[in-house]
Structure 1
Amino acid sequence: DGPTRALMAAFQSVTARTAGFASVDQSSLSQGGVLLMLALMFVGAASGSTGGGVKVNTFAVLALGVRARIWRQGDVNVFRRRLDEGDIHKAYSTAGIYLFGALCGCMVLCVQGAGLVDALYETFSAMSTVGLSRNLTGSLPLLSKWTVILMMFAGRVGSMSVAMAVTKGRDAGNGLRYVPEKILIG
């Protein structure tokens, strides 16, 4: 009936961002439902919370940055405040690293025999520390299981933190800056 379906849909939208409680079999979701769940897992929970994803604030900065670019605004403004350039770059980097990690993990799962939709669902769930699965986790080969574990760790610690931990930083105090180069984008 209608009210039960609405309640289940609301519960699923919340659980895809933080909790991982499955009120319905995830493998029975329609393709549109899977896509919506992937989007909710990508965005995730609020900044400062224990939930995963890129975080709501990061997603808002991304959306505001796109809006500012479309309207050819010089700055990204919201609520009569200008957002810091460094925070905007950090938001784009966080989302890019998250997506790159999830797609690399998806590739590993696909190479080892998982279907694309199930692999995407598994990797986004792992990177977002959601805990939902389309009944794939138990049947994964060892490399795929380790890949999912690594993605869960990266999602918990933060994809940006993991990327910074495994790369060598450069000394910002040397004063050397390269000449800017204009390239075509989009």
Structure 2
Amino acid sequence: MIYDFLKDFHRRTEIVAIVDFITTRVSRKIKLREYDIDGAEAINLVMLVLCFIMEKSLVEEVCTKNDVAGFIRRLDVDYIKKNIPDEEYLNVADFLIKDCLQNSGVPHYFRTFNFETKKEEKINVKLIDDKRVAIGNESVYSYYMTPQGYKFMFNTLEIEDALKVSIEQFKLSLSIKKRNFNAARNN
């Protein structure tokens, strides 16, 4: 391979694929504009819903569309202040889950290049999944994080916190590894 730093490029782009998926699925949707939610607010709302689903998944609790709607309602009343009508929270939750996060049931692929195999690869983005669960006499969908969803969410905060390594320390370590002692000394 001509460039060693491109060895795992296809793995590096998985996060880019997820960000691309979220931004293209959410910011271009006009549905949320009906509630005066702009593109950046919509992306934040999707991330908040992902945090909620992750929290439920971590403690292995059922997470229904009604649960997500209740969470969005609490966010709206306490923080977001968009005054979404009560009867619309279920529609907003349905839209965020099905249309945005589950891509209306259509697999989403991001194309990248694997420099080791010298071939294009497709990264399938699937952050959440669902399963049927019984609640009383009803059978409803419960949403949970996929391994890829956990990886993405953990990379947004938890991994950095767990490692307790600053970017500067990490940069210093890589500079030494690449035998760039001037950069290491300057840090």
| TM-score for the superposition, normalised by structure 1 | 0.30
| TM-score for the superposition, normalised by structure 2 | 0.30
Return the structure number with greater strand share.
Answer: 2
